[in-house]
Structure 1
Amino acid sequence: MAFNIGNKAQASHEQGQLGENQARKYLEQQGLTFVDQNVRYPFGEIDLIMQQGKEVIFVEVKYRSKSHFGGAVNALSKKQIQRLRRSAEHYMQVNKMDVICRFDLIAIDTGQIHWLKNAF
């Protein structure tokens, strides 16, 4: 019996993009301004970068179509947090930014959006 792992990975990537787009739209509706999306470095990725006033917000988006195993809110590991922090520091250095920043989590479970400000 053979399994096509590529299709599963593609579907997961597409769901992730859908979740990020939902998160961006939601945050814009809350008054935040879009800055950048899917910023990738060899050591990590930033899903969304938003701005609220003078504050820059690095957003990790977790999307789960089902709320099994604690759902999206509990899907963020310490290693992922470290990679996001390192990526954010690099982004700020490359763009010569000296601003206040914070790290938020958008968790999307079965159509519900949870916004955790200062999540880590």
Structure 2
Amino acid sequence: MNRRDAERQGRRAESLAALWLRLKGWRVIARRVKTPVGEIDLVVRRGRMVAFVEVKARRSVDGAGLALDRHRLKRVAAAAEAVAPRYVKPGQDMRIDALFVVPRRLPRHLPNVWHG
């Protein structure tokens, strides 16, 4: 797969992830937030919780899990910390989530995947 196809697949996966999260009661407040230390695929809010979501699209659940390593999560956490003041209001909580998009399966949302 070339870079352009991978980009298109990633955008499709992020759109599907955003729809899935909306169906689960989350409100998407930002997409593809870029920072000097990394990128956040989705920023979502439900009640007092703000989640910074890393979306992984792979051919298998195992492949998606392998794509989400400690290094990747560390970058997402650093990016979330950099932009948290913009999205997290006083009295709200925040966390890092992951969402796996795999063909012929429902998206899999993994809450609170980063524990520093």
Q: Normalised by the size of structure 1, how large is the TM-score?
A: 0.85
* Partner residue, 2:23: 29
Q: TM-score, normalised by structure 2?
A: 0.88
* Structure 1: runs of 5 or more not aligned: 1-6
Equivalent positions of 1:89-104 (< 5 A) are: 89-94=81-86, 97-98=89-90, 99-104=92-97
Rounded to whole Å, the distance in 2 between the matches of 1:95 and 1:50 is: 9
Pairing 1:1-120 to 2, within 5 Å after superposition: 8-64=2-58, 66-67=59-60, 70-94=62-86, 97-98=89-90, 99-112=92-105, 113-120=107-114
Q: Deviations over 1:44-75 (max 9, x none)?
A: 000000001011011000001x228x221221
Give the CA RMSD over aligned residues. 1.8
Aligned residues: 112
Identity within the alignment, %: 29
Q: Which has the larger radius of gyration?
A: 1
- Per-residue Cα deviation, 1:81-106 (whole angstroms, up to 9, x for no partner): 11111111110135574431011110
Gaps of 5+ in 2: none
Equivalents in 1 of 2:52, 2:45: separation in Å? 9
Partner Cα distance (1:111, 1:44) in 2? 30
Cα deviation for residue 43 of structure 1 reads 1.4
Given the superposition, is the C-alpha separation of residues 57 and 41 from structure 1 closer, same or farther in structure 2, using an over 3 Å criterion?
Answer: same
